[in-house]
Amino acid sequence: MIDRRVLRLPFSFRALIWSVCFLHCSDSIFSTESLYPVEHSPQKLTPLMERELRGCFEFFWEEWNDDPNSPTYGMSNGDYVGLNRYSPIPIEHQGFYFTAVIIGVERGWISREDGENRIIITLKTLKSLKRINGFWYHFIDPDSGKRGWKDSHNIELSNASAGTMLLGALAAAEYFGGEIEKLTYELYEAMDWKWFTNPVTKHPYLACYPEDLPAKIPSGINKDGMFGGWSAYSEHIFLYILAAGAPRKEFATGADSYYAMKSYKGSYKGEEFVMCGTGAAFTYQWTHAFIDFRNIRDKLGRDWFTNSRHAGLAARQYAIDNAHRIKGLGPNSWGMSASISPTTGYSGKYGSHPIGAGHKLLEDGTVAPYGSLSFLPFMPKESIAALNHMYKIPGLVGKYGLYDAYSYQTKARGDKPWVAKSYLGIDKGLVLLMFENYSTQLIWRLLHQNAFIQQGLQVLQFKQTLPIRSIEKI
């Protein structure tokens, strides 16, 4: 029998789904006919893992604009929570928020009706905000709903932020159906991925300033305000999937964009992997929070799941090897990644070797807990050990679980570390998704049954591998 959700779609979407034979065969929220099925291997969380997961959920659920008269009504604010400072709303944060609602409903923390109503409000607000060729500016001012930060001219149009939002919305569309599904597909249909792709190099542009230029004009910017490129392996793999699976053929890109991506290999203490230029932990986690790569490979045979495992093991070993010169690092204190900084406010220069592209690591002892915790599906024993250790660090646990960062080397007071008494949505979001996917594979299963995600993976020539690989048991 055809899934009743398919019948609620506009004809154009139904036709697309039927044409590629992505029909559901039951009324279950999980399809058994996915071209890229997710192995369901439930794992029991420890009480401390449950505590951190619940804290991540409550962060997203409570930091929500409940003012119906506000132009950002329903948006979840996820930057610098706890610091009592101006904080614009990141578009990507909404994607993590959508998945938090799904998890909250599934675990019985909120009602299905409350969760569904909230997401509808947020999607309607997103639809009302200014977009250019379907894409939003990276940050939105919470008071005006316009391009936001104190200096709005420095805020770029972002494909990565919009794409992350869309991934969460697609998961919600699968879970709730109905109006959420309709609104999500309307947003997706308007996104011109080909416009955001360099026609010569085939690389997605890094960002765009289509209306005015920032104070510091990026090098190589073209007449349309496009500049840079996602040219080498990084956190952006999901962009190729969304672009290839786009509902409108004239807006979609092909496999040539994905295979134009450069892969630079590095190694550390026997761990070899395709590396990201910055060395930041999150670059090996971001796409994996939404897409399950355990059992799929591209036509070149690349195993992105194992790649991230090697990167995580290397990051941990780097911390162990440098514990003698950087106070606070060690086997359970590792995973340096972009985070709040005691010296610069926020920095993307935290990471581990190997790195490339001429980047220089900022090594002032700052550790971001999410950096190690979000490696959970790849290396559960090591991540859980880090969680247990970090919950014992003085002052590191707050209202929503672990704070964003700590350092025993900079601004520390004796044996008490400096702690960033704040939360960032993207960091809590990665922990939320990795913990849930490790435990139930919920978000993975939802997205892998989505017709557009399946189409994207198919266009990029990903193949299922056998035997099926499950989550490593602890």
pLDDT in tens, 282-294: 999 999 999 999 9
The phi-psi region of residue 82 (left if phi > 0; otherwise alpha if psi is between -120 and 50; otherwise beta) is left
Summarize pLDDT for 243-269 with one digit per residue, the tens: 999 999 999 999 999 999 999 999 999
pLDDT band at 77 (very low <50, low <70, confident <90, very high): confident
Q: Is the pLDDT of residue 32 over 50?
A: no
What CATH number is attached to the domain comprising 367?
1.50.10.140
Question: For residues 261-279, b (16+ Cβ closer than 10 Å) or e, as one string?
Answer: beeeebebeebebbbbbbb
Structure-block tokens of residue 120: 């509808």
Q: Is the pLDDT of residue 191 over 90?
A: yes
pLDDT at position 40? 92
Quick one: which of 287, 280, 279, 220 has its CA closest to 258?
287
Lowest-pLDDT range of 19-23, 218-222, 344-348: 19-23
pLDDT at position 431? 98
Quick one: which of 106, 136, 101 has its CA closest to 118?
101
Q: Is the pLDDT of residue 57 over 80?
A: yes
Q: Is the pLDDT of residue 175 over 90?
A: yes
Q: Which residue has the tokens 């190690």?
A: 372
- Residue type at 316 in one-letter notation: R
Summarize pLDDT for 352-384 with one digit per residue, the tens: 999 988 889 999 999 999 999 999 999 999 999
Quick one: which of 256, 140, 151 has its CA closest to 197?
256
Domain of residue 417 covers 34-464
Residue 17 lies in a domain: no
Spatial contact of 374 and 434, defined as CB atoms under 8 Å apart:
yes
- Calpha distance 160→203 (Å, rounded): 13
Q: Is the pLDDT of residue 123 over 50?
A: yes
Domains identified in the chain, total number: 1
Residue 310 lies in a domain: yes
Residue 174 lies in a domain: yes
Residue 424 CA: distances (Å) to CA of 56, 91, 134? 10, 13, 26
Residue 237 lies in a domain: yes
Spatial contact of 459 and 257, defined as CB atoms under 8 Å apart:
no
- Calpha distance 116→100 (Å, rounded): 12
Helices (H) and strands (E) in the chain, counts: 15, 15
- Gap between the terminal Cα atoms of the chain: 39
Residue 289 lies in a domain: yes
- The number of beta carbons lying within 10 Å of the beta carbon of residue 412 is 17
pLDDT band at 82 (very low <50, low <70, confident <90, very high): low
Summarize pLDDT for 132-153 with one digit per residue, the tens: 999 999 999 999 999 987 778 8
Residue 27 lies in a domain: no
Lowest-pLDDT range of 4-13, 94-103, 373-382: 4-13
pLDDT at position 145? 94
pLDDT at position 127? 98
Residue 28 lies in a domain: no
- Calpha distance 111→437 (Å, rounded): 21
pLDDT at position 31? 45
Percent of the chain with pLDDT over 70: 91
Residue 7 lies in a domain: no
The pTM of this model reads 0.92
In this prediction, residues 22-36 reach a mean pLDDT of 51
- Calpha distance 446→170 (Å, rounded): 8
Give the phi and the psi of residue 28 in degrees, each rounded to 5.
-65, 150
User: Is the omega angle on the peptide bond into residue 331 within 30 degrees of 0, that is, cis?
Assistant: no
- Calpha distance 417→319 (Å, rounded): 17
